[in-house]
Amino acid sequence: MTATPMVQIQSVCKRFGEVEVLSDIDLSVATGEVCCLIGPSGAGKSTLIRCINHLEKINTGTIEVNGHLVGYARRNGQLHELTGREAARSREDTAMVFQHFNLFPHMTVLENITEAPIHVKKESRASAEAHAHALLDRVGLAGKARAYPGELSGGQKQRVAIARALAVRPKLLLFDEPTSALDPELVSEVLEVMRDLAREGQTMIVVTHEMGFAREVADKVAFMDQGRIVEYGSADDVLVRPRLERTRDFLARVLRSHVPQA
Amino acid sequence: MTDVMDGTRAREEQEKDRKTEVIVPARYPGRWIAATIIFVLFASFAYSVATNPGYQWDVVWQYLTYRTVLAGLGWTLALTAASMFIGIVLGIVAALMRQSSNPILSVVAAGYIWLFRGAPLMVQLIFWYNLAALYPTIDIGLPFLPPLVSLSTNEVITPLVAALLGLGLNEGAYMAEIVRSGLLSVDAGQREAAQSLGMSPAHTLRRIILPQALRVIVPPTGNEVIGMLKATSLVSILAFSDLLYSVQGIYGRTFQTIPLLIVATIWYLVAATLLSLVQQYLERRYGRGHSRRAQDGMSLLMAPLSSALFRRGAGK
């Protein structure tokens, strides 16, 4: 394991006004690894994943994806915040899937997927559309290219959102509670797609409340509470044999609210 | 197999029994009385319009396609289009400035909206027309240095320029608020999704935010265009040869005031009708993804026409 990690987060702090929502976060995710962030609401999981994509600014520390700073540039020993245009370019290696899908409602499924490849990555329309059709096939929505997002179910929307994120060929894929806004019976179709991606070696960071998924798919699990990563390790270590009382309490509460496991 | 058949037959017999009950819709005699009264009133009004010689319908027909009237109509339409164009561009710029985190930009935009929305349009038109009283020459050059070019204000500010300045600047202030409400109507997640895909802020605005904002912006803008069509009649006080000014010129000579005002009204109504059809087309165009109907270009174009003619309720 001498290769540089895909994501390297070092002593990151983030404040909203007086409130410190991330305190001294260190996290490293290797290429091909799936890292799940779990923890109670308000723990800072979503904020952390949004910082990795520079949707939120950080106050101190550094976040590097694929060896490049995201949203900042190092000049003369200082970190300078990038302008919107430069920041857009610095996000090149990352894509994100949101809790509320955030598909573009005025575009068809196909247009949603090809917009960034054509206009950001400057791919030809033909190759972008061929890639989009292949991705739709992969998420099980081959017939839906011409549909508008408003015509799809929540699970289908989220699968389109995953295809759209994959279309920019990201080295890192971020998921912010991808199944939290779905009806319970639609959760599995989205998790199934994510499971496939993990199997194919896609590096992913997933904020989730699906403990079964985390245990099955995650290489590493980070338990966050009050803006800190308080327990970190393999899925088995954190989810099955947690060291800390806090982690055990949280898991007990989450598992009780779900269908009891056999 | 036979069980299923028996079940079906039993159900059919039940259906037959049910059909004997007939439902009679409720009657509303009040509606008939109201409709009759309104019809009688309308018929008597129509009769008076047709028979009152004061309307002088022959004069109306004679002047309806008169050359100066049509030229005036042309100027009115051109002025409407040009002023709306200026207004929409200014409105977008002012709306973006108001949202800016730079306080000077946002305060300047707020001040512009406050001034040009608050002052009467007639006053603004007369003000621009008389700009020479304040600034006899218009100097172009660097601030506080001798001018490079110096023009006589009276030559630059023709009635057309005064009309465009007055109507365009006034409209920009209204459009700014309409555009701003449209931009605010787009969910913040849309911007984030676009950013996360690596789109630049300008690309995000042009391809993601504005098209969705237009769904909210188009209906009130349609109102503004029709309002502008009529507001252009104010420029007749600047002796600008719009539709109203051209019929005024005719009835000033012939004293056939009423029939010529009817001529102008007919053309204003025709233009307003056509513009509202364009508005319906645009509403459908930018409502894409919010309605489940199939929408190719042709049906988009025809839908407002057919809904206007047949009232088939082609809405969402």
* ipTM score for this prediction: 0.90
Contact A141, A162 (CB under 8 A): no
Contact across the interface for A98 and B289, Cβ inside 8 Å: no
Looking at the complex, report in whole angstroms how far the Cα of residue B80 sits from the nearest Cα belonging to chain A: 29
Q: Mean pLDDT throughout A92-120?
A: 95
For residue B6, the model assigns a pLDDT of: 62
Of A102, A105, A116, the CB nearest to B198: A116
Tokens of B203: 């690309």
Of A55, A121, A149, the CB nearest to B289: A149
% residues pLDDT > 70 (chain A):
97
Residues β-bridged to residue A173: A95, A204
Q: Give backbone dihedrals phi and psi of A249, rounded to 5 degrees, phi first.
A: -60, -45
Of B270, B99, B291, B281, the residue nearest B182 (C-alpha): B99
Q: Which residues contact A121 (CB under 8 A, 6 or more apart)?
A: A168, A169, B198
Tokens of A234: 């393999």
Contact across the interface for A107 and B289, Cβ inside 8 Å: yes
Contact B163, B235 (CB under 8 A): yes
For residue B12, the model assigns a pLDDT of: 66
* Chain B interface includes A88 (CB < 8 A): yes
Q: By CA distance, what is A96's nearest residue in B? A: B196
In tens, the pLDDT along A22-56 reads 999 999 999 999 999 999 988 999 999 999 999 99
Q: Which residues contact A113 (CB under 8 A, 6 or more apart)?
A: A128, A132, A135, A136, A160, A163, A164, A167
Q: In chain B, what is the straight-line distance between the N-terminal and C-terminal CA atoms, in Å?
A: 45
Q: What mean pLDDT value characterizes chain B? A: 86
Tokens of B199: 């789109």
For residue A193, the model assigns a pLDDT of: 94
Contact A203, A172 (CB under 8 A): yes
Q: How many CB atoms lie within 10 A of CB B292?
A: 11
Cα dihedral across residues B164, B118, B87, B291: positive or negative: negative
Cα dihedral across residues B208, B209, B215, B220: positive or negative: negative
Superfamily of domain B81-241 in CATH is MetI-like (1.10.3720.10)
Decide if pLDDT at A220 tops 70: yes
Q: Give backbone dihedrals phi and psi of A32, rounded to 5 degrees, phi first.
A: 85, 0
Q: Which residues contact A31 (CB under 8 A, 6 or more apart)?
A: A3, A5, A6, A171, A203
Of A202, A195, A239, the residue nearest A217 (C-alpha): A195
Tokens of B294: 């199939």
How many residues are there in chain B? Answer: 316
CA dist., res. B45 & res. B245, Å (int): 29
Residue A199, H or E segment: helix A187-199
In tens, the pLDDT along A108-137 reads 999 999 999 999 999 999 999 999 999 999
Q: How many CB atoms lie within 10 A of CB B228?
A: 23
How many residues are there in chain A? Answer: 262
Q: How many CB atoms lie within 10 A of CB B42?
A: 10
Of B49-63, B138-152, B188-202, where does mean pLDDT reach its minimum?
A: B138-152
Looking at the complex, report in whole angstroms how far the Cα of residue A220 sits from the nearest Cα belonging to chain B: 24
Interface of B with A in 16-75 (CB under 8 A): none
Look up residue B232 and give its DSSP letter.
G
Of A153, A156, A161, A183, the residue nearest A95 (C-alpha): A161
